[in-house]
Each structure stands twice: as structure tokens, then as C-alpha cells.
Structure 1
Amino acid sequence: MSGRGRACRAAAVLLLTLAGQGTPALAAIPPAGATVRGSGVVTWAASAQRTGVGADRAYRLIVRVSAGGSDLRVRLSNAYGDRPLTVDSAHAGLQARGAALKQGSNRALTFDGDRAVTIPPGHAVWSDPLPGRVPAGARLAVSLRTPGARGPATGHEMALTTSYLGRGADTAADGASGWAPATCSWWYLDAVSVRPEHPRAGAVVALGDSITDGWGSTPGLDHRWPDDLARRLRAAGTGVANAGISGNRVLTDDDDGGPGATRRLERDVLSQPGVRTVIVYEGVNDLKARDKASAAELLAGYREITHRAHEAGLCVVGTTVAPFKGWLQWSPDTEAARREVNHQVRTGGDFDAVADIDRALRDPRDPERLRPHLDAGDHLHPDDEGMRAIAGATAPASRDCRR
């Protein structure tokens, strides 16, 4: 692992360690209508969180798109800001190496025809379409400048990807000069869309917690399970968006894990353009928390998500909860609840399709535990191979999901 990869891993460890120790109060979800839908199909996303403090600086944010296409647009979010955020320069190009971009690929983004945009607190904005084609699987660099930014910043804490900060750096330049130090978070950018090459292509959103967010996978290699799912669905031109937040629960808001899945569904799933399917892979945090949910309560939360997704015309893939014996908060009671939830997910008929992640990850000799070779070491989070196993379980359900 590179030095920067180790730094991102250390930042992720700190993020998980801080869970439950108390952080600034949870910000409200943006009001209905604050996040305007973009056009095309979402090809990358990262759910908004409160991420440090805003500053007068530039950002060069590196993301890997899933589906390729034309008319690229980016969504900038001030969801957690307490004052207007001004972005006076924004560009998008293709990464060459580090902070350097492929020569001639970096182009200016506009917002309603202007180079600058001011985003009210709690809101998000889409850029205008950028002419030209972005290849599937490309590493995109979105460069922003936020003069005078103050107060709570919006972003995504655990990117597991190296991006770059700059003071006085030129967002329009292709070169790496001025882009230091590195950052292991994404700032203000929370979605990218394209007009897909396949006219009927849509997108899949993975709604989840730290396992979907990528904890346990190798930083810098895009080995989260939604990344592998994107590779498996690439031939069909399907976009894949990662709506995972470490520590997230289905039912309950949390200062670290963010608003519960039922509360963030509109912002992180339904507002994304071109979405046809949502994969619901969370619930373990509800079952193992101090104020743990019962199986019946968690299943009711799943039904609420499914009902609202159906109202929006989406197909819903339900998933079983993987085993986690060996994790500190495991107990026979939580195991019994997990098994009850999994039985209902498999047989209850609430979902349009089911991905049996429990079966893909459990140890046949001890079904309450992860297979040792799929365990990242903490008995809850899968490693890179475990992430591939999750993608293998979800891919057929994603392809076959029909209402």
C-alpha cells in the first residue's frame, strides 16, 4: 500500500473510531425540492456528510465514473452548510497521474451559463452539460475553488481515494503544480451524470452503510463492492452510484452515520437521474446498536423504503444481512434477530428481487461468522475478495429486477 493509501486507511480508522463519541449536531436533510434532478444517468455519487470546515481553497477531486457517455454534469452540494457557498471556478478533466490531468482534457463547467455559482444552505446544484464523451470507467478530476468559504463543509469523509487541496492552484491547469497536500475525503461534489451511450440504459444505486462505503477494501484501488458491480454491469451501459455512509442505519439518525436511510432516501437515491433500481444493503447497525432495533422494526423500515421507491417507479433489490460474530456488539440476541430478518427478506415477498449476501459471505462451518478468507479482520467488514463476493451476489438481482 502506498503512503497515501496508508494515510487514507488511517483516516478511515479514525472515522470509525470516532463513531459514537459525539460530533457536531446532525444537520437537517435539505427540504423537498432543494435538490433539483439532473438529466441523463448518474454515473458516480457519494452521499453528503458534514466534512470539516469550509476554507478559501481549491480542490481537485478524483472519482471513477461507472457508465460512459456524453453531456457530463456534476452536482455540488451545500447540504450541511449554514451559509451560502460560492464556487467561482469549476473544471472537469481526465486524470493522468496524481493531480496531473491528461493534456487538453480539462474544461470549464458552467451553471446556467455562468462560470460561478452560489449555493444556498441545504441545497445542491447541477452544472450545465459539458460537450464531449467520457469513457466508461474513467478517472475524472473535478476541480473547484471556494473563495471565502466558512462554516460546516459538505462532502464525503471516507473516500478511500486520494484527491488534492490547493491554495492558489489553477483549477483550469492540467498540471500538478500547486496541488498539495492530499486529502482522503471528497468535498462538495456528490454526484456526476452522463447521457449514456445506450439509449435505454439506467442506473443502480447501492444504499448502504460502511460495507457499501468500502471499509475493509484496499484504499486507492476502487475495490468497494459497488465498484465491482459497476464493472460487471458495464457492458449494458448501466450507471452505478454508491450511497453508502459509514455508521448509517435504516431507522435512526446518527451524528456520525448521518440521517437514517428512510430519511435520506430522497436526497441520495430518488433525486439521482436515470435511477431504475435501488439495492438496500443495510440494517446491521440497527441490529447491533445500543438502542438496537427489533427484527420487526427493521423490516418495517425496509417496507417503507420499498413503498417509496415503488411510488417513484424504481425496482428494489433486498439483501440479507451478513454474519458478524466476533464483532464486539454481536450477541445471541442480535444473531436471532439477524436470522429472522434474513428469513423474511428471502420469503416475505416485499422486494422485487433478493441478493443473498449472507449465503455468499458466511462460513459453512460456522454460519454466524464471515468466511475467514473474506474477512477484513474485524469480523464485520469484508476484504477485497469479500467485496467481489457481494458484487457477485447483487449483479444477477440488479440485472433481473423487474416490477
Structure 2
Amino acid sequence: MEQQSEQQAQGATGPEVELMKEYASATVLSTAANFIIERGEAFTHTYRTYVRVREQGELELRFWFSNAVDSTWDKGAVAKGSQPGGDWLIEAAYVADGGTAKDGGVAPGTQVPVTFDGNSTRLVRPGERFWSDPVKIDLPSGHDLAFTWTIASGSGRSVPYNTEQMLVTAYDAPGKHADEESGDTFSLSENKLVMPAWIGYKKTVSRRMVFFGDSITQGVRTRKDGYDYWVARIADGLGTDYGVWNIGSGWARAYDAATNGPWLHKAKQGDQVLIALGVNDIDIGERTAEQLLGDLTEIISILKRHNLAVDIILFTVPPFNFTAEREKVWRTVNDVIRNSPPAGVSRVFDIASVLSVPAPEEHRIRPEFMSPGNDPHPNGLAGKAVAEAFLSWYK
């Protein structure tokens, strides 16, 4: 159980929080880790990712790393929530002007090294959290930030990462290629986003918002590089005076968070936490209504013990075309959230009412909001509808 100090009771403090007061989340892309690299032999590999940042121009960036799996993937055969990563080495890391082409290369002459306590390499230990040094870059309007790094590890489990449909364009290549401007040695990445846990830029914001959910929060099934999922659209609507950190994670469930591990640690860095969990608890987790509500209550209790001043917004569970017993659980949980949410919740946003077909079929998502292949993950049109409803409600 987390120990509560007088300092914590008055508000969240500490080096991570203090730095995140100086730096705001630079992107709405979630880089939450739900999988882990596991290989039978040693490897060296380079990853290059193109990210739309919330502001361009002269930026001071800083990167934060968490060497742990945040949430369970599928049934946990490979990766479970709070599982520490292994030992691995950052051999080199760079930021650059990624331009607009997303072709594997970067703008010539724009690569800037990312260092760690003045060093270009960093040995990473299991479960470790750490920061990069500040790095400055001038990014032209409308251009992507390119982050490139080379990672080396021995055999076994090593680097946590996010596996899902790619929401941004990324490339990778075997070997050490982080310093290369050309994309000739790289191939398009598939279902493998290997990134720092947080990208920050030096900026004071009026509110640090953390969107804490599963693949629906992450934006899975929306267009690659489209940023048309609802968290991205909400961020655009609020403007850059609001810091928005998306830690949505595919397959995630509330009972992952209720263990008070690395994933919930990220949520603690916000002064407003927006919780949108429950679909996977009901589905693959097969939790009862009582279990799910108990996990949500525990999450909120931990956040409040950490920082009494934190503002918590709880979302209803989105419709996911549940049937039979799962539909009953979905209805019970949402009835409780709407009418008697757990203590500590400031307000409830009814995302289900935005996405659902009319009663009595409200457990089903509106057909026009479904992703291709009758997938109940909300598409970009749904993201627009949710964002518009949220912004009207929030303001």
C-alpha cells in the first residue's frame, strides 16, 4: 500500500512532477507499453518514428523513460501489467526535423543528439525510470519531429513497447543507424512502436490532463498519422494552454491500474486525470460488475491518496456490442457510474451516450462509428462526435 505523507496529502510533489510542471506533453500520441521485446539472441536495432508535436518553432525537448510494461496484452502470456523490462543499452538517440514526407529520412543537417547526464549512451536497468538531458531543435511549422534511437540488448526480455495498429509512421532497421539522415537502410515498422514513455517540451500550461484508458483512448483503428481519435481532437479544441498526455493502451484494463504499478504512476503526474476504462475488463477480463467497480474505486482512491487536489473525471464504459452476461455487466457498471460514482470523482462524462444507438439497444455502438470489418472500436467520425460533445460539456 502506498505510504501517504503530509506533503502528498497537500499535493503531488517530487522530481518527476516538478519537471512535468516545467515541461508539457509535446504530443497526443500514446506510447504506453503493452508488450516487450523477447529474443533468443543478442541484437542491435534502430527505430525512427515521426510524431506531430503540438507546437513547432524553437523547442526545448526532454524525454522520460520507464522500463516497464504498463498494461497486460491479451491474456498475459507474454506481457503483463507492471512487468519490468530487462537490461538494455541506448547506444545513440537523436531528434531531427522529420519534414512532411515520412519516407524514412530526416532533413539534412538537423539531427541533434539526445544525451543522458552528458553521455550519448545509457545503460537501462529493469524497472528504471529516468530523464534525458534537455535538447533544443527548431522545427518548421507543419513538420513532424523525428525521434531515432539505436538499442542493444542481450538475449531474453528487454525493451517494453506498444504493439497495435500503427497510429503514426515509423521505420526500423537492424544495426546501428541512428546518426543516418537517409532512410535507405530502414523498413516500415508494423505493429511495433518503440518510443520513450513521454515526450515533453518546455512550456507552462494551466492544466496537466492525463487521459487514462485502453485502445479506445489510445485511438486504435483510426487513420495512421490522422490524429482524428477523440483525445487528439479534444487537445486541438482546448489549445496548447492545456497539457494533454494520452496513456491509452491497447488491451488495458482497470485491474492493471489498480495494482498501483508503473502505468498508474504515469497517471499520478496529472493534476486532472480522465479515466476511460472497463471494456477489456468486461470482455477478455470477464470481470463482474462488482469487481470492475471495485477496481475503479481503488484507482481513484490511490490517486486521491497521492494527491488530494487531483481532479478526476470518470467516463462511462463505451458501448462495445456486448451480449448476454457481458451486456448485463456493462449496463450495471454504467448505471452506477452515472448515478453514484466512486468517492473522489469530480464529474462524469457519459461517452456511452455519444456513441450508443438509441435505447433499448444502447449497448451497441452506432454503425457509422464502427471501424472497418464491423469492429466496434470508434473510428475518426466517432472521435469527432466525442470531442465535440466533450468540449461542449467540459467548457
So what's the TM-score if we normalise by structure 2? Answer: 0.78
Q: Distance in 2 between matches of 1:387 and 1:149?
A: 41
Q: Is the 8 A contact 2:106 2:146 kept in 1?
A: yes
Structure 1 residues 175-198: Cα deviation after superposition (integer angstroms, max 9, x where no partner): 3232224343211422111112xx
CA contact (8 A) 1:36 1:125 kept: no
* CA 1:274–1:368: 2 relative to 1, 3 Å: closer
Match of 1:191 in 2: 198
Q: Structure 1 residues 36 and 183, CA, compared in 2 at 3 Å: closer, same or farther? A: farther
SS of 1:101's equivalent in the other structure is: coil
Give the direction of change, closer, same or farther, for the CA distance of 1:195–1:209 in structure 2 (3 Å limit). same
Q: Deviations over 1:312-345 (max 9, x none)?
A: 24211111112233xxxx3343223222222222
CA distance in 2, matches of 1:273, 1:321: 21
Identity %: 23
Code of the aligned partner of 1:57: H
| Structure-2 residue corresponding to 1:61 | 49
Moved more, 66-75 or 370-379: 66-75
What is residue 331 of structure 2 aligned with on the other side? 339
Q: 1:389 to 1:266 in 2, by over 3 A?
A: farther
What pairs with 1:66-105 in structure 2 (closer than 5 Å)? 66=54, 70-79=59-68, 83-96=86-99, 97=101, 98-105=103-110
| Structure 2 residue 293 is matched with structure 1 residue 293 | no
Taking the aligned partners of 2:280 and 2:37, their CA distance within structure 1 comes to 24
Deviates more, 1:297-306 or 1:135-144: 135-144
Aligned with 2:251 (options 233, 243, 247): 247
Distance (Å, rounded) in 1 between the aligned partners of 2:143 and 2:207: 18
What's the CA shift for 1:134?
5.7
Q: Which residue of 1 aligns with 2:213?
A: 208
Q: How many residues align?
A: 348
Point out the more displaced range, 92-101 or 216-225. 216-225
Question: In structure 1, how many angstroms separate the alpha carbons of the residues matched to 2:216 and 2:315?
Answer: 13
User: For the residues of structure 1 that align with 2:142 and 2:198, how far apart are their CA atoms?
Assistant: 15
5+ long unaligned stretches in structure 1? 1-34, 252-259
TM-score if structure 1 supplies the norm length? Answer: 0.77
Matched AA of 1:191: W
In the alignment, the residues of structure 2 paired with residue 101 and residue 292 of structure 1 have an alpha-carbon distance, to the nearest angstrom, of 46
Give per-residue Cα distances to partners, 1:361-383, cap 9 Å, x unaligned: 11126323211111224353112
User: Which position in structure 2 is the counterpart of 1:177?
Assistant: 184
Provide the C-alpha distance between the structure 1 equivalents of 2:207 and 2:93, rounded to a whole number of angstroms.
27
Matched, 1:306 2:300: yes
Letter in 2 for 1:303: T
Counterpart CA distance in 2 for 1:43 and 1:369 is: 35
Residue identity in the other structure for 1:282: L
SS at match of 2:197: strand
Deviation at 1:140, TM superposition (A): 1.9
Letter in 2 for 1:43: A
Give the Cα separation in 1 of the matches to 2:268 and 2:341. Answer: 27
Alpha-carbon distance in 1 for matches of 2:282, 2:208: 29
Q: Contact 1:160 / 1:185 at 8 angstroms: preserved in 2? A: no
User: Relative to 1, partners in 2 of residues 1:136 and 1:315: Cα closer, same or farther, differing over 3 Å?
Assistant: farther
Question: What letter is aligned with 1:175?
Answer: S
What is the rounded CA distance, in whole Å, between the counterparts of 1:215 and 1:271 in structure 2? 20
- Tell me the distance in 2 between the aligned counterparts of 1:138 and 1:318: 35
Any unmatched runs of 5+ in structure 2?
1-14, 70-83
Per the alignment, residue 117 of structure 1 pairs with 122
The code of the aligned residue for 1:185 comes to K
Deviation per residue, 1:141-188 (Å, 9 max, x gap): 111112345422311112332211124554234332322243432114
